[in-house]
Amino acid sequence: MLTLELTDQTGAVTQAEWQAAAAEAAPVLARAQAGEERYADSLGWLDPTLWGGQDWAGRAAALAQQLRGFADTFVVIGVGGSNNAARTVVEALDLPGGMRIVWAGNTLSPHAMNRMLAQLEGRSPVIDCIAKNFETLEPGASFRVLRRWLTDRYGKQEAARRILCTGTPGSSLEKLAKEQGYTFLPFPEPIGGRFTALSPVHLMPMAAAGADVAALCRGAEKMAAALRRQPADENPALQYAALRYLLWQKGYRAELLSCFEPRMKGLFKWWEQLFAESEGKDGRGLLPVTGEFSEQLHSLGQFIQDGTHILFETFLNVKEQQASLSLAPDGVEDGFGYLDDKDFEDLNRAAFAATRTAHSATLPCVTLTIDRVDEENLGGLFYFFQFACYLSAELLGVNPFDQPGVEAYKGWMFRALGKPGA
């Protein structure tokens, strides 16, 4: 199970203050556990069996198996909440036997688009256009290019067999899918993009990649059962949210999520989106930033240790050793004899312990430990962060489920491109 630990040599925050903040936040937890009426149209994720769970996991796995019968590559066309969760799983896990996943719909760069298309040469692809309302430009434009690519190569009928659309029932994407004979999957109406990690939106590409989506859903269900029942003093999501709010009140303006496993790079993007879009509004919120260690200790590390005091740090720590590589000596005197016969795991753990000791001298540090990196733990982690983010935004006094700032840029872009009615 997931645990949290505070390490702070600066005295900025004490255990007692943290506990008091969590106790004060208990009514917010109680409201969230009950399911708030005012957010009813955004809380479809709160019970992960409603729009996910074993039923949807089974359906996604079955469709993935069917697609693998004639295709070897699955193109995910989606941006933000329609991309990041599946990407987290694909980048974190070694998934032999699954389809190759290609990412599209998250850029408007012709260079990047051409690179993406080049990845399809010599492959047998299917595509999945994931878009809640099918108005976002990046997936819309990419879908057009990829549809045409498939039709040119296979003809209209075979192309249709290779096209999936994931959208809300009643949306223009569903209409288009029906007209063209594409497979249509539901994007749950009562879930905003960044909260869809455990829904069909992401279970489909995860299953196509070969992930055990049943285990992922199991992990989420266990986490949900715990967080929706635990009282404030035992509830890690409430404790994390309360600590974030306490530190925000004390003047901290950014949270750095860092990890010594580069495979968690996809999770970083997902986490950044979840917290930035949910909390960054009304002049409030912590800027979510991420540190891929140990590489970025050699860049960000200077600022973290010694720069403006706006940051606190959350280390994502993995308890179990899942890989091993020995540093056996090769007889060459290279000045690294002190590493003889150590394992890279020893080095990575030493780097983590040293970094936490060093950083906690100048900024508050939290360690969030999960057991291992696998489907079940990732499912639990998705739910943990979604629930904690909801609580955290509530404490901050902002609506967790809208993103008016993102809409503003879209308006300017649509007008510049001459979209009717923009």
Tally helices (H) and strands (E) across the chain. Answer: 16, 10
For ligand PA5, give the closer residue by CB, 317 or 403.
403
Q: How far is Cα 77 from Cα 106, in angstroms, rounded to an integer?
A: 7
Query: Is the CB of residue 364 less than 8 Å from the CB of residue 10?
Result: yes
Q: Is 156 a catalytic residue?
A: no
Q: Does 192 sit near ligand PA5 (CB under 6 A)? A: yes
289 is written with which tokens? 């930033």
Interacting residues with ligand PA5 between 277 and 306 (CB under 6 A): 277
- Which of 138, 174, 277, 376 does the annotation list as catalytic? 277
DSSP characters for 92-124? Answer: HS--TTSPEEEEESS---HHHHHHHHHTTTTS-
DSSP 8-state assignment for residue 286 = P
Interacting residues with ligand PA5 between 306 and 335 (CB under 6 A): none
Cβ 82 to ligand PA5, closest distance in Å?
4
Cα→Cα distances 282→65, 92, 303, Å: 46, 34, 27
Residues touching ligand PA5: how many (CB under 6 A)? Answer: 14
Q: Does 177 sit near ligand PA5 (CB under 6 A)? A: no
Interacting residues with ligand PA5 between 252 and 281 (CB under 6 A): 277
Q: Does 193 sit near ligand PA5 (CB under 6 A)? A: yes
Query: Is the CB of residue 223 less than 8 Å from the CB of residue 384?
Result: yes
Helix-, strand-, coil-residue percentages of the chain, each rounded to 5 = 55, 15, 35
Containing H/E element for 75?
strand 73-77
Query: Is the CB of residue 183 less than 8 Å from the CB of residue 128?
Result: no
**CB under 6 A: which stretch of 74-82, 113-121, 243-251, 340-348 binds ligand PA5?**
74-82
**CB under 6 A: which stretch of 52-60, 131-139, 329-337, 340-348 binds ligand PA5?**
131-139
225: exposed, middle or buried (Cβ count in 10 Å: 0-12, 13-18, 19+): middle
Q: Which of 33, 71, 127, 132 binds ligand PA5 (CB under 6 A)?
A: 132
Q: Which residue is nearest to ligand PA5 (CB)?
A: 193
For ligand PA5, give the closer residue by CB, 102 or 214.
102
Q: Is 111 a catalytic residue?
A: no
Binding track over 380-409 against ligand PA5, x by CB under 6 A: -----------------------x------
Q: Is 277 a catalytic residue?
A: yes
Query: Is the CB of residue 29 less than 8 Å from the CB of residue 235?
Result: yes
Q: Which of 44, 48, 52, 80 binds ligand PA5 (CB under 6 A)?
A: 80
Catalytic residues: 277, 298, 410
Applying CB under 6 A, the residues found at the interface with ligand PA5 are 79-82, 131-133, 136, 139, 192-194, 277, 403
